[in-house]
Amino acid sequence: MYTSRISKQTIKRLAIYYRYLEKLHKEGRRTVSSHEIGEELGLKASQVRKDLSYFGGFGKRGVGYEIRTLALKVSKILGLTRSWNVCIVGAGNLGRALLRFPGLKEKGFRIVSVFDKDSAKIGKPVERDLVVIDVKRLSEIVKAEQIEIGVITTPAADAQEVAELLSKSGVKGIINFAPARVSVPETASLEEIDISVAFSSVAFGIITSEEDSD
Amino acid sequence: MYTSRISKQTIKRLAIYYRYLEKLHKEGRRTVSSHEIGEELGLKASQVRKDLSYFGGFGKRGVGYEIRTLALKVSKILGLTRSWNVCIVGAGNLGRALLRFPGLKEKGFRIVSVFDKDSAKIGKPVERDLVVIDVKRLSEIVKAEQIEIGVITTPAADAQEVAELLSKSGVKGIINFAPARVSVPETASLEEIDISVAFSSVAFGIITSEEDSD
DNA sequence: GAGTGTGAACTATTTCACAGCT
DNA sequence: AGCTGTGAAATAGTTCACACTC
């Protein structure tokens, strides 16, 4: 269907539109214009319309977009109408924080297992019905539980190895929080969330804005 | 100095180069070529050279880059040669995980206080020498502790309010982990780390690669 | 010979501007 | 009249290609 070249940036904006549409829907609103969406999210109205137009003409000229309909269309595009089995590799602070991160379950991302290689952690409960499993059993469990998305929250040194293990086990998408870039086969979908890079980027921004004002 | 228009993407790559340079340095290596950096990080050599050239000619033709010198230059550019006082707003799971996130302290990001509005959390220790402080005291403490960077790990509904409070209190840079976009004054530096958007983006990637192979 | 630094060419993304529905 | 959908224009970012240095 819409399999062609849509940029990752467009997809991320779509996910942000979706969140805003849900909010409007909860407030009882029925329609919204591209101008209003852009206003709220800090984007040009034309950007919003262009992003949506890649997937079809969802709006009504002279009116705007019907919130309920558009939210449904966008959730379909983003794969939010089905559920996804997710595993977390690395039962440290960040891994455990993600177990309770708000909004994931509601969007269909179900964290069904947590792995670690540390024998002190293996077997310990991390959530009502979850216990840390030895990473040696990852492949077996990914298959048994039909896990499609793996989240890496290990130390940097283990990230590449875990990425390969996940890919080989049949995981289709990876989200990497470890402070190291990983590479995965072309066929897998990868998202890198680089926390320490974000800090450096902010620090750079502060320095340059101070220089500008000299 | 190099105050002009450098893209955020270039800065983020610089932070990634820096991490790789540190690794090479620890391994005892002395020089590296743009080709090798690109190979390791999945970028074209010309991209690496272009990024570095914005800030000066750091390399030697025929030789490459002297790792120690380049690492020092890049760390200067990114503001990693000084330290930054950071506060976290929101003492939930994610906020507490960030307190121990590896590499931040080493890069000079010192988390000096943690705030929350929940009276059940206020006063409780979160780390050796840190206790959760009432967010009402944020402005006072930001000034007293000379905090320049604020990290938002509150629920989405509180994120915009906290961003404004931080800006008004004199914080120059904000990193927002809440699943909501925030807006800050032009003068402040902002980085949004949108975890649920990353999940949606990966889900979209999986769906489209499955369609492609039909 | 090897590898940088950089203008020029190319590609991707954003924004404009306006025809065309409702 | 209001607001979408979309080619065309403008802008931003990447990659090429090669002169130049070590």
Distance of alpha carbon A165 from alpha carbon A168, whole angstroms: 5
Looking at beta carbons, which residues of chain B come within 8 Å of A110? none
Query: Is the model's pLDDT at A1 over the cut of 50?
Result: no
Those residues whose C-beta lies under 8 Å from the C-beta of residue A44, and which sit 6 or more positions away, are A38
pLDDT of A64 over the 90 cut: yes
Average pLDDT over residues A112-118: 98
Q: Say what the pLDDT of residue A159 is.
A: 98
Binding-face residues of A in 153-172 toward B, CB within 8 A: 155-156, 172
What pLDDT score was predicted for residue B59?
96
pLDDT tens-place string over residues A42-53:
999 999 999 999
The yes-or-no verdict on residue A3 having pLDDT over 70 is no
Query: Nearest residue to D4 (CA, C1')?
Result: A61
CA of A61: nearest nucleotide by C1' is D4
pLDDT tops 90 at residue B6: yes
- pTM of the full structure: 0.96
* Residue scoring higher pLDDT (B210 or B187): B187
Please compute Rg for chain B using Cα positions: 20
Q: Quick check: A43 contacting B, CB < 8 Å?
A: no
Task: Decide if pLDDT at B4 tops 90.
Answer: no
pLDDT for residue A2: 36
Provide the pLDDT for residue B139: 98
Q: Please, which pLDDT band fits residue B213 given cuts at 50, 70 and 90?
A: low
Q: What pLDDT shows up at residue A128?
A: 80
Residue B210 banded pLDDT, cuts 50, 70, 90: confident
A97-A98-A99 Cα angle (round to 5): 90
Q: Which residue has 């983003």 as its token pair?
A: A78
Task: Mean pLDDT check: name the lowest of A3-7, A30-34, A75-79, B38-42.
Answer: A3-7
A83 CB within 8 Å of a chain B CB: no
Give the mean pLDDT of B147-158. 98
Helices (H), A61-169: 67-78, 93-99, 138-145, 156-169
Q: How many CB pairs under 8 A join A and B?
A: 209
Chain B nearest C-alpha distance from A68 (Å): 19
Confidence label for B1 from pLDDT (cuts 50, 70 and 90): very low
Looking at domain A8-77, does it have CATH number 1.10.10.10?
yes
Closest CA to B133 of B94, B88, B168, B176: B88
Give me the CATH topology for the region B84-197.
Rossmann fold (3.40.50)
Interface of B with A in 89-108 (CB under 8 A): 92-94, 96-104, 107
The pLDDT of residue A169? 98
- pLDDT band of residue A193 (cuts 50, 70, 90) is very high
Q: Where in chain A is the domain with CATH 1.10.10.10?
A: 8-77
Q: Tens of pLDDT along B12-42?
A: 999 999 999 999 999 999 999 999 999 999 9
Give the span between the Cα atoms of B12 and A201, in whole angstroms: 6
Q: Which of B147, B91, B82, B93 is nearest to B123 (CA)?
A: B91
Chain B residues in contact with A103 (beta carbon < 8 A): 156, 179, 196
**Mean pLDDT across the stretch A79-104?**
97
Which pair of tokens denotes residue B51? 């990024």
Look at residue A51 in the predicted model and tell me its pLDDT: 98
Instruction: Provide the shortest C-alpha distance from residue A11 to chain B (in Å).
Output: 6
Phi, psi of A145 (to 5 degrees): -95, 0
Mean pLDDT, range A52-75, rounded to an integer: 97
Alpha carbon of A27: minimum distance to chain B alpha carbons (Å): 14
Q: Are B15 and A197 within 8 A, CB to CB? A: yes
Burial class (CB in 10 A: 0-12, 13-18, 19+), A28: exposed
- Is the C-beta atom of B42 closer than 7 angstroms to strand D? no
Contact B194 A15 (CB under 8 A): yes
pLDDT at A204 over 80: yes
At residue B3, the pLDDT reads: 40
Q: Cα separation of A79 and B200, whole Å?
A: 7
Question: Given a cut of 90, is residue B2 above it in pLDDT?
Answer: no
CATH 3.40.50.720 maps onto chain B at 84-197
From B104, B191, B206, residue closest to A189, measured CB to CB:
B206
Residues A28, A30: Cα–Cα separation, whole Å: 7
Q: Which of B194, B196, B212 to mutate to test the interface with A (most CBs of A within 10 A)?
A: B196
Average pLDDT over residues B103-131: 96
